[in-house]
Amino acid sequence: MAGPGRGSRRRSRLKTASPSSSADGATAQRKTAWTLSDRRSVKRRLVGIIHRFYLDAISRLPPADLRATSGLARGLLVGGHCLGPLDPVHNIIVNSVWYAAAFPLRRPANADDDETDGRDEEAHASLLRTDGIARICHRSVDGLVAALLHLCGPSLTTGEALWKLLSAGADLTAAAALAKGTSKSSAVRDIASEGLVSFRVAAEAARHPNPAAFAQFVSSELPAVDVQHNVVRLLIMKQVLATRHINYLSDVLVPSAPHEPSESPPLLSPKVLGRIASEKKQFQDIRKQVISAVNMAMHQYASQSGEQVTLHSVCGVSLLKEEEGLNNCYHINFLAYHVDSGSAAGAPVLFFTEAIVPSCDETDIRLCVPVDLVTDIGCCFACEINKKKVVHPSYDEYLGGREFQEGEVNCGSDFPSPLDVDYIFFDADRDRAFANHLYGKIMDH
């Protein structure tokens, strides 16, 4: 569903193959052959591919499970890295289900009970934070590069690793085969023999919350479970997963909870709890406005096309900066099912809408169109400046500016810390360092 494509964006010139070394094989020369600009350009394209894999994976997950704060949304954005021995989309799904089941959310002992009831989960319904998706895309790239460098040794440079991964469509096994000049079956054997260390290195580079447990899972436990329970076959046969499939995967991937030191939940400072609650409320307020705009956009689309759609999830939100003269204008991606005979049918479709938020009526919906993950590679300067990953249509007109040079935007992975997902999915026991960091920031002010 996802894959590299060409858009109208003017890109700096990229090499069509990794730079070749001279006969004396000077590694230093080969490293300098890949400029910082080259590496950034290739990484940007690789992040774009992986972003589409995440949208593909999200479209296959049941929305009811994504709505639960403690469920798949957290598994996806915290531990659902695009790393492992399977194909990229399957890796994302399996890792998300595994992390959600193996490390369920824990609340502070002195947290308000309202935070843990059904109302809290419903408050986060349907909206997956854009920064959280973008961050795990970047972290996945970092992990893939680290794993490939470990598998291939010092003869491979970072630039070459990025290029091999791009050429292989972010598939680690295929990239390893390209880098070593071997068959994919040979690369599978290499990864199987070195998987524990390679995936530990990858998980650490990708800032996985539990690198040791993740490496053990993907290198040893997952292959054994797949042989016994046909996990990959299930994912191939069921393009759209239901809650019963998620429950089945949770049971077979995590037959027993991983051993963790038993500690009583920590008591947090009222100021820390207050900050977390405040950030969650702010997110809820934004969510309500965005969901309202999306509902209006779907209604407008139905009026114009005659096709009824129902919301699966919102998976991209970018507020265009006021300095661009675009006050309160949002670019939004959402997934929606076509409604057939009164019920949702088939796989959800990705949409793009440009809307004024809050939206008072349908006149605030400037555009609402379906977009294709493979062919629609439209670009938007305003969203790029925001570092927001939103899929834009190639041909429809929208605000924000299409034409720009790559050097005009920052494509790095230096996201603000913390992100709103860190507050939404705060785990009192596992995120103690974050709680201490937050307490220090509060005390400094």
Q: Which residues of 41-50 are buried (b: 16+ CB within 10 A; e: fewer)?
A: bbbbbbbbbb
Q: How far is CA 355 from the centre of its chain?
A: 23
Side by side, the strands of the sheet bearing 329-340 are 309-319, 329-340, 343-356, 365-370
- HEC sequence for 158-205: HHHHHHHHHHCCCCHHHHHHHHHCCCHHHHHHHHHHHHHHHHHHHHHH
Q: Which residue has the tokens 């998987």?
A: 195
Q: Which residues of the chain have pLDDT under 70?
A: 1-33, 69-70, 107-125, 257-266, 322-326, 341-345, 376-378, 403-416, 439, 444-445
- Position 9 scores a pLDDT of 36
- Position 403 scores a pLDDT of 66
Q: What kind and span of H or E run contains 355?
A: strand 343-356
Residue ranges covered by each domain of the chain:
36-253, 270-408
SS3 421: helix
Which pair of structure tokens corresponds to residue 112?
């308000």
Which pair of structure tokens corresponds to residue 73?
């949304």
Q: Round to whole Å and give the CA distance between 157 and 174.
A: 17
- Position 21 scores a pLDDT of 42
Which pair of structure tokens corresponds to residue 318?
């970018």
Q: Which residues, listed in sequence order, are joined to residue 289 by a DSSP beta bridge?
A: none
Query: Whole-prediction pTM value?
Result: 0.86
DSSP codes of every residue in 86-119: S-HHHHHHHHHHHHHHHS-----TTS-GGGGSHH
- Position 279 scores a pLDDT of 86
E-state strands within 3-142: none
**Nearest C-alpha neighbor of 51 from the set 1, 100, 114:** 1
What are the Cα distances from residue 153, in Å, to 141, 158, 170, 176, 198? 18, 11, 19, 11, 11
Which pair of structure tokens corresponds to residue 1?
């569903």
- Position 325 scores a pLDDT of 63
pLDDT digits 0-9 by tens, 281-303: 888 888 889 999 999 999 999 99
- Position 388 scores a pLDDT of 86
Q: Which residues, listed in sequence order, are joined to residue 314 by a DSSP beta bridge?
A: 127, 334
